[in-house]
Amino acid sequence: MDAAHSRPPGTPDAAVEAAGRFSEALERLERARGALYDFHQLVGRADAMLDDVVASLEALGRDRLAAEVRERLVGRNVLQGRWTFQVVEEFDDGYYALFRELEERTRQELVGGRRHVYEAEMKQRRRTAGHPGHEAAPGA
């Protein structure tokens, strides 16, 4: 196993497992963050599409309905005082930034800052040494 993924000498199993769980939690949060960015882009595109809706309503002579959509819905905040870019920024600067900071600090304190120690050890246990496709590292 390469040094970047090796357990520092004297590191107990519980420390490797705790760091691994925190990293897995961060991976899940990264997926949630991606979904938040999807939300941001989908809502933004839906709002932009309302321009065509308003134009179509006006072309149909439905000026009152077009005006209501334009005045009440186009450009409306999705949350109190916020468009989605503000939601994304608040999430990124708050919860997400703190989560990443504490995950990194936990890895620093428990496993010398190394990433994926738990997974690297699992790979070593599960691979069949000497068989094609089971190499310990690229080019090994």
In angstroms, rounded to a whole number, what is the distance separating the alpha carbons of residues 119 and 4? 12
pLDDT digits (tens, 9 = 90+) for 93-111: 999 999 999 999 999 999 9
pLDDT confidence of residue 140: 73
Which residue pairs, CB below 8 angstroms and at least 24 apart, start in 28-34? 29/96, 29/99, 33/91, 33/92, 33/96
Extents of the domains making up the chain: 10-122
pTM of the model: 0.87
